[in-house]
Each structure stands twice: as C-alpha cells, then as structure tokens.
C-alpha cells in the first residue's frame, strides 16, 4: 500500500492506495502555523485500522519550505562567493553574512586567480562568532571546476555545521541562480531537517515505521535521507503533485493542459503526449530565481473563491480571496456564487449567493441570473486566455541550432484535464467556451495526493568533457576523471547514464525500472590556429518524471469507479 | 537586484550546427564560450533584458536588398535566413517599442555582402543589417538610418549597398585597408554622385588600442551622427579589433567595446566578425550587452587584460587626429561636392572587380547610375563572374522620381535575355521584384 499526502493552503489531502485501488481518501484542515500537526494527523487518520506492514511507501508534499521562503522566514546563513571578472556579485547579496572573496575560474574551468586561504579563514572565524551554523559556497563556473569551492569548504569546515556547494545544487550555468539556489538550500536546511526528523520520530514513537519520501518540484520524489542534502528541491512541490495526479489520464498521442482549480489560484501545466514539460531553467519564488528543477507550471490568481468586484464598468476577478464563497458562509461574492445560480451545488446556500451577487448585477445593469452567467463565462475565459499565453510562452522559447529551429517542435494541446474541488462544474463551462475537449481527472478532489503517491524518483546528471584539457566531470556527482584524446560524446553519454542510474537508486528509485533519457548531447570540435585540438562535449541526461511501475491496474481501477460523469470520457478505461 | 536602465532585447542564435567548414573561423564553436559566459552571468534573468526567438526572413526581405546569382537558394543556407531573421526580430522589437534597444548576437555575419551576390566573401553571403533596415523602412516607414560599422574589417558590402543612398549614413571604422582584408575603406570613398558624403571611412593603423578608437568615436563619429540626425542607429558590432583576435592586428578590449557602445548609443547592434572565441568574445559580448542595457560593466575584463601591454604608440593619436580632419572636412563639404557631381553627365559609369575570397569567385561589374537631381537615381549593374554567370540587375531606389523609374524599366525591357543568364528588376517604389530569362 502507498500513502500520498499533499498539503495545500486550506487543507491537506491524504490517500491510501492499494492493489484494489483507492482505499481511503481523507482531508484534514491545514494549520499553516503547525504543519507538523497537519501532516501527523493526516497520516494517523489514513493509517487507522490499516496493517502497517503492508505500507511500502509514504510520499509527502508539504508547503513547509515554500511558506518559509515566501514569508521571508529564513534563518541567517553564511554565503561565501568568488566571482572574478563580470557582473558585480554584490548585486546578488543574500543578507548580511555574504562575503565576496578572491579567486576565479574561467569558462573552460581553468584557474585564473587562486583563492586566498587567509581571507576564507577570517570569514570562518566571523561565522563562528556570529553564530552562523550553515554556509553556502559558490564560485563562478564552479560546475566546470569545483576545486575552488571545495577548497573554500575545507577551510570553513571547522567553523560551521554544514556546507552547501554551488556545484552540487545544479548542473546548469547561471552564477546568480547558483548563488540563490545554494542560499535557499542552506537556509531551508535546518527547517527541513528538523521537520521531517520530527515526523519520523513521532511516527516511530507511535509504532509507525514508515519509509518516508518527499515530493520534489519536478514531479519526482526522493527518500528522506537524500533530501537532507537537497532540501531546496522540496520547494513548490504542490503544483507538481496535481500534474502527476493527472498524467495517467491524458489521452495518448496528443498534448494536454492540466488545470488545478483551487479556491485562490488555478495552477496550469502542459503535457506533451502525457509527459509534463520541465521548466527550462528553474523555480522562481519569493524574489529568488533558482536552478531548482521543476515542472513548468503557471499559477494565476483566479480560483473558485476569488473576490469579484465591479469598478468603472469593468468586472475584476481575484487575485484576492477573502474566504469561502457566500454560498458556503463567506462574505464576498465569488465565481462559485455565480456558479451556484447556474448549477445545483451540493450544500450551497443559493439564497446567500443571490444576495451577494445582487449589487454586482445592479452595477452591470442586468438581472442576477444573467449577471451570474456572464461572471462565470468571464472567469472561464480569463483562465483560458492564461492557458493560451502559457502555450505561447512555451512555444516561443529560444533554440540554438538550425535543426531545432527548422523542426520547430511546438506544443498544441487539444484537451484540458481539470482537477480541484469545483472541477466538474468548471469543466463543463470551459468546454463550452473553447475548442478544447475538457475532461475531469478521476478522483479530482484528491488527484494531487494520488499524484504524490505514485510519482517515480527523478533526477538529472550534467556531464562535461574537454579532450584538449583531457578532463571530464559531473560536478554535482563529485565525479571527475582524466580522459584520453579519443573520448567522444558517445562515451560521455554512456558515462552520464551510469552516473544517473547510481544517483537515481541512491535517491530511492526502483533499479529495475529506470526510464532514462538523453536531454542534451553536444560535441564541438575545438580548433586553435587551423587544426583541431580537441572536443568540447556537453551531455545532460535525466530520469524523466512519470509514475512508478506496476500501478497501471490501480490507475485503471481509480478511473473506473464512481465517475462524476460530466465531461469525463469513460471509453478510455 | 539588477535592473536594466534601458529595456534591451537580445536574439542569441549561435547556430551550433552550422559552419563554413570544420576548421573555418566561422564554425560551430564560435559562440560556444560566449554562450557559456552569457548564461553564467545570468544576463537573460536581468529585469529589462528579454531574449527573443529569431524569426526567419522571407525571400522578399532578401530580394529587397540583393540580386542573388543564380538565385537565393544557391547563396543562402538556412542559417543565413535565421541570422538575418534574428536582426529583423530585434529591429521589430525596437520599432514596436517592446524594448528600447536590441542586440542580434547571431551568426553567420553579413557586412561584406554587396548588392549583387555570387557567393560568399569575407565569410558573408547576405547583408543581415541591410535586410533588416530595408524591412524596417518598408514596414515602419523609417527614413534616415545611420550604420556604424565597428568591425575591424572595412564593411565594404554595406558600403556598396548604401553607396548611392543619401538617407543612409554609413560610417566604418577599421584597420587600415593597406594592412587587412578587404583592402578598401579609405577616407576618399565618400559615396556615389547623388549621395556624396554619406559614406564615411575611418581607417586606423594596426595596434590602435582603446584610446585611439574611443577618440575617433568621440571626435569623428559622434559629431557626424549628431549632424545627420538619424531616426535609427545600427551598430555592425564586429569584435575583431580585440587584442587577442587571430586574424587582425588591433589592441582593443572588452572595456573599450562597452565604452564604445555607451558612446554610440545604438538602437540596434548586430554581431559581425570576431574570432578570438575564447579570449575575447565572451567578455566583449557581456560588455556590449551590459552597456546597451545601461548596467555597470566596470568589472567586465578579460582574464589576461593588461592595459600596459596593449597601450598604443603616441603617433596613433596623431593619426586619428589627421583622419578626423580629412573625414570631417569631407562631411562639411558634402553638399558642395554633390552639387558639382549633379552638374556633370546624366549617366555615370563605374567598373570594378569583386573578389569572393571565401568561395574563390571573381566578378566583373559595370554599374550605370542615372545622376538624378531629384532622387538618388536608378542604376543598372552588368555583372559577370568566372563561375559562369552573367546577369543584368536594375535597381529603382525607394524614393525614385518618375523619370528614373521610366529609365529603369526601359533598361529592363531593352535588355536582351539571350545576352544574359538572367535580367533582374528591383523596383522598390512598387515593391516589384521581377526577373526574365531567355
């Protein structure tokens, strides 16, 4: 059996899955100030009366790190940065304990200026006196040669508890993002470690020895032990959970949009033939641009409970939410109230919605029912417009070869998969106002938790070789090796895949089913004077996001039973 | 966080799968380290810097500028459509006010490509700046344009295309033609009879460094630009004046390029040459981008930068002064010289040979211009190459008077197709691009 738990803004969804399908689904209210209690009560309730020995994994997706960043509640940590020529690194200061030191490496990984040990030593002592326990070390071009970062770390080691290295947080070139990513990893580390250790020991104390995994923003998971070294990857896992809960139901052979319609926001993602697209660079959160691998998701400020206002002849929807819709006891009219007049919503107080919409309809100069229809249509149209923009953004991303530009692969979604509380109602109208075929994801209310439960372990490896300098490396994996002049991109791919498999298994992947993929394979002849002096090789491989092996039957069962009927195509199951 | 003072658009198209030949300077690897540096510096993340995906140019975009022999498909590869398209994309982004300024970091380059194209010369097949400018003129009604070519080689292709266009000021600053390809670009090359003075050449001696180039920019280029009052300034931003460039002999540097860009304030910059792919391009390009965007570039330096080592000799400053005197005098006298030219023959002929060094083709041209007092004058070019092609090309300028239009059509109709492989008509007034064959 598998447990999936996804903490959202208002409640946490928890599911228990077994061979028979979805065994249990529960919702517990989220206490933003006490996520620990939220997670624990969710796990306790879902395991009540269950034979614990049968639980093979528990996947958690929480807003712990995300909230800390967005609310600016990060503890002070130390940053040591070496840059060399270029933009002034002072631009990227993360706080008071941010030190810029000597030393530089160039784009080929050659040392331009050595580091100054005494300088680092002095910083270490300062960290100690100031009570800085965690530090990040980042160098420009450190993924081409991590020697400086490692040397700096060596000097700092006696003065701090844990050090995060820029070359280990991501394999892409982008010094400012490497700084912010390393910083975020360092800053959320104590919180992350304390939280999950507490969850584990608390469960242990109650006799629940559950193997915990944590969902990442790229829609994959990792085991708890591994997450200690990559706490930053847990940031923004929420949208990934919803996407992973939908992919099993995407129609094969076409592109789809996923829309998770919540109370405050609608999160969107694109599936290319069932495979979620990854963000080409990394997460942006709380003013930080990072290299954290993530699914490409867009969040817009329109949801079922968005505030409706009418001003200067214009109806505005969101981005604020003041609480539930009036139909459910709230105080501000919302799209849900409009819907309440159009459809028969369970447990809704139609009268309250009607009264709430009256002032708006008066301003719009039409009867309440017609105003409701217009409001809901506008809500749907705005969501569709944003979806269109997301598709456009995806298709206008630059490419750097003639081949890619000519092939011009672009996504053209023709269906929308909707999940989230009001999914069936929205689906009907989204279909009416667009050319998309719109379907509701089975178990739409907890599909996100199902997605978390069934996500496979993912990871990425970046490999670099320079046959002129006779070096090869995968800095994130602490791998570097001398190579011969005859090294080739083919050999590089082989090596990278080997490293990838090892990494995936360490993170908790099932060794029998590793779906590897080559993302990038480039080989350049290096010519100096008029002769070829070597090859410059860049390779990127990944375990692509998807669902774990062996649960096809389970997914079939989930889709078969208790269908909402509206918009969902039964024929596929 | 950093914010660009000027909204800046970038097209970055390194064409990682295109080369003239495997070991040619114009090869896959050329912008590899520039990409590394630009990515590592996180330039695309800066607020106010936007990366655009290049559009492809259309065949008509090319026909508007060039006569391609035997046709467009023989002289252009896909990469040329994209590199010219990248310039066009940036031009449109500037005209649409999506950005204040833009830089097309594209390859292959174009400033040696002339009006008639039989093949590749100086690594260039089609003139990507001219294709962009003529598109902008047609689509947005742009009038006066200034092109400042800061490549180390004389921009002879651009000079040729705008030789007879008084609305386009072409200024080229480059290493003395007596010491470097293509061997032209002297101050006495000032434009055709109807556009005297709008071609300005500033040759500089080998080993000129930052001091000399910036002095020329301040004392010669800037005053002429201010006088000309262009609607658009385009910088052909070659980067081969660098002290590490393998095929030239100048001593310019990344700081100098950034400073030059700040001085020139181009609306649009387009990458031209520059073949020190590791030691120069990564730093020069970062410097140019930051200068365009109005961001502090004072820490952008080559790892081996030593201003003492590349300081210019005192006589170079005197040379710049001297060239300045001549070119500024030419500029002041341009109306007078033009009036004299107009009082001479109705038709003026010039014959010349054009060598396509990259493709090894020799072309013989005879050009006839109608020296028109009312417009810049129609022209026809009889062009034969040793690759066996012989064509007649007739050009009607954008603002041709009716007499010039009639003259041009008479030329076109009178041409005996049996005598030529092809006869072309480039009618910019009616946007008609005709050709006839026997």
What's the rounded Cα separation, in Å, for the pair A47 and A50? 5
How far does B131 lie from chain A, in Å, by closest CA? 19
pLDDT in tens, A21-54: 899 999 999 888 889 999 999 999 999 999 988 9
Q: Report how many domains make up chain B.
A: 2
Tokens of B292: 């365009």
pLDDT at A560: 65
What's the rounded Cα separation, in Å, for the pair A40 and A44? 6
Q: Which of B66, B111, B112, B118 is catalytic?
A: B112
Residue B230 lies inside a defined structural domain of this protein? yes
Q: Give A91-97 contacts, CB < 8 A, sequence gap 24+.
A: A91/A176, A91/B1, A91/B2, A92/A175, A92/A176, A92/A179, A92/A180, A94/A179, A94/A180, A94/A183, A97/A126, A97/A127, A97/A130, A97/A132
Residue B61 lies inside a defined structural domain of this protein? yes
Token pair 């046959």 is found at A467
Distances (CA, A) of B269 to A342, B42, B253: 57, 20, 18
pLDDT in tens, A231-253: 999 999 999 999 999 999 999 99
Helices and strands (H, E) in chain B, number of each type = 13, 16
Residue B339 lies inside a defined structural domain of this protein? no
The answer to whether B29 contacts A398, with C-beta atoms less than 8 Å apart, is: no
Same domain as B165, residue B75: yes
Same domain as B307, residue B370: no
Residue B353 lies inside a defined structural domain of this protein? yes
The answer to whether A399 contacts B51, with C-beta atoms less than 8 Å apart, is: no
pLDDT at A559: 75
- B53, B79, B301 member nearest A402 (Cβ): B79
Distances (CA, A) of A61 to A35, A66, A219, A505, B48: 11, 11, 10, 20, 35
Same domain as B426, residue B370: yes
The answer to whether B54 contacts A405, with C-beta atoms less than 8 Å apart, is: yes
Pick the residue from chain B with its C-alpha nearest to A142. B40
Nearest one of A481, A461, A460, A479 to A469, comparing CA atoms = A481
Same domain as B115, residue B181: yes
Same domain as B128, residue B260: yes
Residue B340 lies inside a defined structural domain of this protein? no
Residue B350 lies inside a defined structural domain of this protein? yes
Flag whether the ipTM exceeds 0.95: no
The span from the first CA to the last CA of chain A, in angstroms, equals 22
Does A280 contact B at CB distance below 8 Å? no
Same domain as B427, residue B311: no
Q: B226-243 as b/e, with b when 16 or more CB fall inside 10 Å?
A: eebebebbbbbbbbbbbb
pLDDT at A52: 87
Tokens of B333: 């006298």
Pick the residue from chain B with its C-alpha nearest to A112. B303
Same domain as B147, residue B38: yes
Q: A21-40 as b/e, with b when 16 or more CB fall inside 10 Å?
A: bbebbbbbebeeeebbebbb
Q: Where are the alpha helices (DSSP H) in A117-256?
A: 117-130, 147-156, 166-169, 175-205, 224-227, 238-246
User: Phi and psi of B432, rounded to 5°?
Assistant: -110, 135
Same domain as B145, residue B62: yes
Q: Using a CB-CB distance cutoff of 8 angstroms, which residues of chain A are in contact with residue B22? A: 525, 527, 532
pLDDT in tens, B36-48: 999 999 999 999 9
Specify the length of chain B in residues. Answer: 438
Same domain as B170, residue B67: yes
Between B128-140 and B78-95, two packed helices, what is the crossing angle to 10 degrees? 40
Q: Is residue B112 annotated as a catalytic residue, yes or no?
A: yes
What's the rounded Cα separation, in Å, for the pair A388 and A402? 26
Pick the residue from chain B with its C-alpha nearest to A281. B45
Does A397 contact B at CB distance below 8 Å? yes
Using 70 as the pLDDT threshold, list the residues of chain A that sit under it.
560-573
User: Phi and psi of A271, rounded to 5°?
Assistant: -110, 125
Pick the residue from chain B with its C-alpha nearest to A91. B1
Distances (CA, A) of A457 to A216, A222, A511, B183: 9, 6, 10, 62
The answer to whether B12 contacts A406, with C-beta atoms less than 8 Å apart, is: no
Residue B69, beta-bridge partner list: none
Q: Is the pLDDT of residue B124 over 80?
A: yes
What's the rounded Cα separation, in Å, for the pair B207 and B150? 15
Cβ proximity of B51 and A375 under 8 Å: no
User: Phi and psi of B246, rounded to 5°?
Assistant: -80, -15
The distance from CA B63 to its chain's CA centroid, rounded to whole angstroms, is 17
The distance from CA A379 to its chain's CA centroid, rounded to whole angstroms, is 26
How far does A532 lie from chain B, in Å, by closest CA? 7
Question: For chain B, what percent of residues have pLDDT higher than 90?
Answer: 97
pLDDT at B199: 98
Same domain as B97, residue B73: yes
The answer to whether B40 contacts A397, with C-beta atoms less than 8 Å apart, is: no
Domain boundary at B312, B334, B356, which? Answer: B334
The answer to whether B53 contacts A104, with C-beta atoms less than 8 Å apart, is: no
Cβ proximity of A13 and A448 under 8 Å: yes
Domain boundary at B300, B334, B368, which? Answer: B334
What's the rounded Cα separation, in Å, for the pair A302 and B176? 64
What's the rounded Cα separation, in Å, for the pair A544 and A141? 26
- A84, A87, A403 member nearest B17 (Cβ): A403
Q: Using a CB-CB distance cutoff of 8 angstroms, which residues of chain B are in contact with residue A398? A: 11-13, 51-54
Pick the residue from chain A with its C-alpha nearest to B45. A289
Nearest one of B192, B115, B190 to B426, comparing CA atoms = B115
Q: Is the pLDDT of residue B357 over 70?
A: yes
The span from the first CA to the last CA of chain B, in angstroms, equals 65
What's the rounded Cα separation, in Å, for the pair B361 and B119? 7
B276 lies in which domain range? 3-334
What's the rounded Cα separation, in Å, for the pair B203 and B220? 12
The answer to whether A400 contacts B15, with C-beta atoms less than 8 Å apart, is: yes
- How many CB atoms within 10 Å of residue A123? 22
Tokens of B282: 């990564």
Does A100 contact B at CB distance below 8 Å? no
- How many CB atoms within 10 Å of residue B14? 19
What's the rounded Cα separation, in Å, for the pair B380 and B415? 11
The answer to whether B16 contacts A524, with C-beta atoms less than 8 Å apart, is: yes
What's the rounded Cα separation, in Å, for the pair B2 and B149? 30
Cα three-residue angle A201-A203-A209, rounded to 5 degrees: 95
Same domain as B352, residue B213: no
Domain boundary at B314, B334, B354, which? Answer: B334
How far does B210 lie from chain A, in Å, by closest CA? 19
Q: Using a CB-CB distance cutoff of 8 angstroms, which residues of chain B are in contact with residue A98? A: none
Nearest one of A183, A181, A168 to A217, comparing CA atoms = A181
How far does B16 lie from chain A, in Å, by closest CA? 5
pLDDT at A211: 85
Residue B141 lies inside a defined structural domain of this protein? yes
Same domain as B164, residue B32: yes
DSSP string computed for B131-184:
HHHHHHHHHH----EEEEE-SSS--HHHHHHTTT-TTEEEEEEEE-TTSSTT--
The answer to whether B41 contacts A87, with C-beta atoms less than 8 Å apart, is: yes
pLDDT at A553: 80
Q: Using a CB-CB distance cutoff of 8 angstroms, which residues of chain B are in contact with residue A475? A: none
Identify the sign of the CA torsion B108, B113, B116, B117: negative
Does A140 contact B at CB distance below 8 Å? yes
Q: Using a CB-CB distance cutoff of 8 angstroms, which residues of chain B are in contact with residue A524? A: 16, 28-29, 32
Q: What share of chain B is helix, strand, coil (3-state, %, to 5)?
A: 35, 25, 40
Look up the CATH number of the domain holding residue B290: 3.40.800.20
The answer to whether A287 contacts B32, with C-beta atoms less than 8 Å apart, is: no
The answer to whether B37 contacts A402, with C-beta atoms less than 8 Å apart, is: no
Q: Using a CB-CB distance cutoff of 8 angstroms, which residues of chain A are in contact with residue B28? A: 524-525
Q: Is the pLDDT of residue B350 over 80?
A: yes
């Amino acid at each position: 059996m598998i447990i999936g738990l996804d903490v959202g803004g208002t409640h946490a969804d928890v599911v228990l899955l077994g061979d028979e399908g979805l065994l249990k689904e529960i919702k517990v209210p989220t206490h933003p100030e006490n996520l620990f209690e939220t997670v624990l009560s969710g796990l306790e309730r879902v395991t009540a009366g269950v034979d614990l020995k049968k639980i093979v994994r528990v996947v958690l997706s929480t807003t712990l790190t995300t909230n800390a960043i967005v609310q600016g509640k990060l503890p002070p940590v130390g940053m040591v940065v070496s840059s060399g020529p270029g933009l002034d690194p002072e631009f990227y200061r993360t706080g008071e304990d941010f030190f810029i030191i000597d030393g530089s490496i160039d784009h080929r990984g050659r040392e331009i200026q050595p580091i100054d040990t005494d300088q680092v030593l002095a910083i270490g002592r300062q960290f100690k006196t100031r009570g800085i326990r965690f530090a990040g070390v980042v160098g420009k071009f450190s993924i081409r040669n991590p020697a400086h970062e490692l040397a700096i770390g060596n000097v700092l080691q006696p003065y701090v508890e844990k050090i995060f290295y820029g070359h280990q947080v991501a394999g892409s070139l982008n010094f400012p993002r490497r700084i912010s990513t390393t910083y975020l990893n360092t800053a959320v580390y104590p919180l992350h470690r304390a939280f999950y250790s507490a969850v584990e020991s608390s469960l242990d104390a109650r006799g629940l020895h559950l193997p915990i995994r944590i969902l990442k923003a790229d829609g994959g998971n990792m085991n708890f032990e591994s997450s200690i070294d990559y706490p930053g990857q847990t940031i923004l896992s929420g949208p990934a959970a919803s996407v992973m809960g939908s992919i099993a139901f995407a129609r094969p052979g076409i592109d789809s949009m996923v829309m998770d319609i919540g109370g405050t926001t609608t999160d969107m993602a694109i599936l290319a033939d069932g495979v979620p697209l990854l963000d080409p660079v990394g997460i942006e959160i709380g003013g930080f641009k990072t290299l954290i691998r993530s699914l490409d998701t867009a969040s817009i400020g329109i949801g079922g409970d968005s505030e409706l206002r009418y001003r200067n002849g214009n109806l505005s929807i969101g981005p604020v939410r003041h609480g539930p819709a009036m139909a459910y006891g709230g105080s501000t009219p919302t799209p849900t109230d409009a819907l309440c007049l159009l459809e028969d919503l369970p447990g809704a107080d139609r009268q309250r919605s009607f009264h709430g919409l009256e002032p708006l309809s008066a301003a719009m100069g039409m009867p309440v029912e017609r105003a409701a229809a217009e409001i809901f249509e506008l809500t749907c149209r705005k969501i569709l417009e944003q979806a269109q923009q997301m598709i456009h953004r995806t298709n206008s991303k630059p490419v750097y070869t003639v081949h890619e530009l000519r092939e011009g692969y672009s996504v053209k979604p023709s269906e929308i998969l909707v999940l989230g509380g009001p999914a069936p109602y929205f689906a009907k109208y989204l279909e009416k106002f667009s050319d998309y075929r719109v379907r509701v994801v089975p178990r739409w209310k907890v599909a996100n938790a199902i997605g978390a439960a069934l996500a496979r372990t993912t990871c990425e490896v970046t490999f670099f070789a320079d046959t002129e300098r006779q070096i090869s490396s995968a800095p994130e994996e602490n791998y570097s090796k001398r190579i011969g002049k005859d090294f080739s991109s083919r050999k590089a791919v082989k090596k990278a895949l080997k490293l990838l498999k090892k990494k995936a298994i360490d993170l908790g992947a099932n060794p029998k089913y590793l779906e590897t993929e080559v993302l990038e394979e480039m080989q350049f002849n290096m010519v100096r004077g008029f002769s070829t002096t070597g090859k410059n090789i860049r390779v990127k491989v990944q375990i692509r996001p998807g669902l774990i092996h062996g649960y096809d039957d389970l997914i079939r069962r989930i889709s078969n039973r208790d269908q909402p009927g509206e918009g969902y195509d039964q024929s596929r199951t | 966080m950093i914010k660009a003072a000027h909204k800046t658009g970038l097209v970055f198209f390194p064409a990682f799968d295109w080369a003239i030949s495997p070991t040619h300077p114009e090869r896959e690897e050329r912008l590899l380290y520039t990409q590394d540096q630009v990515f590592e510096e996180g330039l695309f993340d800066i607020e106010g810097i936007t990366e655009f995906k290049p559009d492809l140019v259309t065949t008509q975009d090319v026909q508007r500028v060039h006569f391609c022999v035997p046709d467009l498909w023989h002289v252009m590869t896909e990469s040329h459509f994209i590199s010219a398209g990248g310039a066009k994309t940036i031009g449109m982004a500037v005209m649409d006010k999506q950005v204040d300024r833009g830089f097309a970091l594209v390859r292959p380059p174009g400033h040696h490509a002339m009006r008639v194209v039989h093949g590749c010369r100086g690594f260039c097949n089609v003139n990507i700046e001219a294709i962009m400018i003529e598109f902008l003129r047609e689509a947005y009604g742009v009038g006066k344009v200034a092109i400042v070519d800061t490549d180390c080689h004389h921009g002879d292709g651009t000079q040729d295309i705008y030789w007879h266009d008084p609305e386009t000021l072409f200024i080229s600053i480059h290493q003395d033609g007596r010491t470097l390809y293509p061997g032209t670009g002297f101050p006495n090359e000032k434009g055709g009879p109807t556009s005297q003075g709008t071609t300005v050449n500033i040759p500089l001696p080998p080993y000129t460094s930052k001091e000399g180039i910036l002095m020329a920019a301040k004392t010669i280029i800037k005053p002429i630009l201010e006088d000309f009052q262009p609607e658009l300034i385009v910088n052909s931003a070659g980067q081969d004046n660098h002290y590490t460039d393998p095929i030239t002999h100048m001593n310019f540097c990344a700081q100098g390029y950034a400073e030059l860009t700040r001085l020139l304030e181009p609306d649009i910059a387009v990458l031209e040459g520059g073949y020190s792919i590791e030691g120069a391009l990564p730093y020069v390009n970062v410097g140019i981008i930051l200068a365009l965007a109005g961001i502090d570039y004072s820490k952008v330096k080559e790892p081996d930068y030593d201003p003492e080592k590349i300081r210019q000799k005192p006589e170079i400053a005197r040379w710049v002064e001297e060239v300045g005197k001549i070119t500024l005098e030419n500029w002041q006298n341009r109306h007078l010289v033009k009036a004299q030219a107009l009082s001479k023959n109705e038709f003026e002929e010039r014959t010349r040979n054009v060598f396509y060094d990259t493709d090894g083709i020799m072309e013989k041209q005879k050009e006839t211009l109608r020296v028109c007092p009312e417009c810049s004058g129609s022209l026809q070019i009889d062009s034969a190459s040793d690759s066996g092609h012989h064509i007649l090309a007739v050009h009607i300028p954008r603002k041709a008077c009716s007499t010039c239009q009639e003259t041009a059509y008479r030329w076109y109709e009178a041409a005996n197709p049996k005598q030529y492989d092809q006869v072309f008509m480039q009618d910019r007034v009616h946007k008609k691009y005709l050709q006839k064959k026997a």
